[in-house]
Structure 1
């Protein structure tokens, strides 16, 4: 959760995210200062800190596997570059995170003790506390003091989802309550296979729920608030499996609502795959079509599809409409918390997606554009027209096959290799002189080295992108 990082770590994270957003490996300092609006001295300081962070926390690994700086003061991404280890580290060591964690467990929070522990002034800790209160208030959660203890007041479902995100980002360890057999509530295990991530997420939310219940903090919404239409899972089976976790921990009249919340959470947690939606034996009844949620989603589906010129087959339509309805319900319950991580909003792909969206989609608030991007990105990627490449070699078809394999390994986009001019290539690549006035020709050596293949791949990628 980016907002709860220390200020300097937020700057580091911005730098890391910018490096991640580009396919380049090498970044001149001047470029980083311009893009991040930071001085060269500050950039150098951040890079040094990142290298020290990595070396200190993962001493068994080489820091230059992540990033390093050369003699020309250029920042270079290492072969195993990733933002994730740093993200977790920045959250864990943040005073804001530690305050939030103590708030969750309703521990005694003493500003004086925090100041002494972290070698900060009391006024600094109090400033961070006020900032934390403002962040929580963005999600309709107030921090109050009752009987000398700081605690949270607000929609319980949002409090739990906020800490699910926060604890997940921080890598917090919790007791292992959920096992593989607890996922036997699905109607078709072949269509919806059990995954470790689903087990981990369900386990974390269950631990959060039980912790809150021990503090007598219950879900107050009516059961209809968490209603979802899902024929892929069995709600009754889910109840039977998870009811024992709550036994004797809460009033009987609250049990069904609590389990219903957990059922809603895990069923709206991720996007349903194409094959999963296709496996569901269902159809659009007049009752479904007449629902407000369906109308909203269908309108968004039409607008986005039209803007990005996506030709939908029936399977893709059901994939989109099923997931949109789940997304709409998820956002109705958790609000802006669903986009708390927001990893991709500064990427070229997201910007390209946003640029084509009509005002009607940008202005609606039923489903965020971040969620729509997650849903549509696979379809948009598949929908991109591949360029056709005619590959020719004086040494015959075996060499052509080898060149195809090598060239493909350097490309960031898919291409279609063809064998005949009648298939209308967009580009001809050849290792011998060839005349054609209608198709661009790119010449390579018969046995190109990696550097030459990299140049060729860049040329093809640029051709596709333009």
Structure 2
């Protein structure tokens, strides 16, 4: 992706899905969103029907990307990558039902082939936009399919989990493994397609210096032992692995007393929880 100047106007040039994702991040950071309109509201309502557990934040994120995509496509900037580039596993929203929603609300004069690519791109976005919690992964069908097992993203995800277990000298239970592999697979697929090293939310979630040091040492360990670059940011590692690691530690009870009252006690407890 690069900036070009044409007739005194600057344009972004390059891979269309990456340009759209760039605008998506730009709007999110600036908190300046394009008007959604009635059609987008209907899309949000339809998503709630096919996935009752979808959060409002997930809907808002999708509608932002959806509106950017419609605007870009209306100006002739359509997806050129093959639909196979957007292949991804989603056990919560079927592509058939999703496709019906998008088709009814796109209303653009584009070819059927272009429409299929638009749908594939939007489906990929909604499938990879959020981490899955452990309960969700365990309650839906397996994310491991024959096509997934041969995917480079799966191979890297499996390698990261294996190296983390060696680094910490622990074993991951089957449910923990499936939680990690499903999320790592989706994260790595997303990073490869949109060419981002970390999502906006994860990059701000590093926390204490001890957490940063832990995952920094893991990154060094991983790269020395595999001769491969760790594709995940420290924020992403923290958000994903802490969900599992916090359940493996031995409980430590500390009595906190503050002569300055309950408010100071809460602050001390919060700081201690970051350090332990």
Tell me the TM-score normalized by structure 1.
0.51
Q: Establish whether residue 182 from structure 1 lines up as the match of residue 46 from structure 2.
A: yes
Alignment-derived partner of residue 155 in structure 2: 295
Give the alignment partner of residue 120 of structure 2, picking from 253, 260, 269.
Answer: 260
Using a 3 Å threshold, how does the CA distance of structure 1 residues 162 and 463 change in structure 2: closer, same or farther?
closer
Task: Give the C-alpha shift of residue 384 in structure 1.
Answer: 2.8
| Partners of 2:174 and 2:215 in 1: CA distance | 23
In structure 2, what is the Cα distance between the partners aligned to 1:185 and 1:194?
Answer: 9
Q: Aligned residue for 1:343? A: 204
Structure 1 residues 285 and 219, CA gap change in structure 2 (3 angstroms): closer
Gaps of 5+ in 2: none
Change (3 A) 1:163 1:248: closer
1:355 counterpart = 2:209: no
Equivalenced residues, count: 267
- Rate the CA distance shift 1:461–1:171 in 2: closer, same or farther, 3 A: closer
Q: CA deviation at 1:270?
A: 0.9
Of 136, 150, 155, which aligns to 1:276? 136
Query: CA 1:286/1:456 → structure 2, altered by over 3 Å: closer, same or farther?
Result: closer
Q: Distance in 1 between matches of 2:266 and 2:101?
A: 56
Q: CA deviation at 1:225?
A: 0.8
> Quick check: 1:332–1:366 contact (8 Å CA) kept in 2?
no
Tell me how far apart the structure 2 counterparts of residues 265 and 463 of structure 1 sit (CA, whole Å). 34
Q: Does 1:199 align with 2:59?
A: yes
- Runs of at least 5 residues in structure 1 that lack an aligned partner in the other structure: 1-140, 390-406, 411-443
Q: Secondary structure at the match of 1:143?
A: strand
| Residue number in structure 2 paired with 1:208 | 68
Match status 1:234 vs 2:99:
no
Residues 172/358 of structure 1: CA separation in 2 closer, same or farther (3 Å cut): same
**Residues 244 and 369 of structure 1, relative CA distance in 2, 3 Å threshold:** same
**Contact 1:145–1:151 under 8 Å retained in 2:** yes
**Structure 2 counterpart of 1:58:** none
Pair 1:162 & 2:22 matched: yes
Q: Which has the higher helix share?
A: 2
Mean CA deviation greater in 259-268 or 340-349: 340-349
Query: Does 2:237 align with 1:372?
Result: yes
User: Aligned-pair distance for 1:286?
Assistant: 5.9
How far residue 265 of structure 1 moved from its aligned partner, in angstroms, is: 0.6
Sort the Cα spacing of 1:378 and 1:148 in 2 relative to 1 into closer, same or farther, 3 A.
Answer: same
Question: Rg larger in 1 or in 2?
Answer: 1
Deviations 1:361-410 (CA, angstroms, capped at 9, x unpaired): 58424444432222112222333322246xxxxxxxxxxxxxxxxx5xx6
Aligned mates of 2:217, 2:188 — CA distance in 1: 22
How far off its partner does 1:311 sit? 3.6
**Cα distance in 2, alignment partners of residues 287 and 203 from structure 1:** 29
Distance in 2 between the 1:331 and 1:222 partners? Answer: 17
Q: Distance in 2 between matches of 1:283 and 1:216?
A: 35
How far apart are 1:226 and its partner, in Å? 0.9
Q: What SS does the aligned partner of 1:387 have?
A: coil
Please, which of 247, 257, 271 is the counterpart of residue 382 of structure 1? Answer: 247
Q: For each residue in 1:225-263, what CA deviation from the matched residue of structure 2 results, as whole angstroms up to 9, or x when unmatched? A: 111122222001100011122223433320010111011
Match of 1:397 in 2: none
1:85 — aligned with what? none
User: Structure 2 length normalisation: TM-score?
Assistant: 0.82
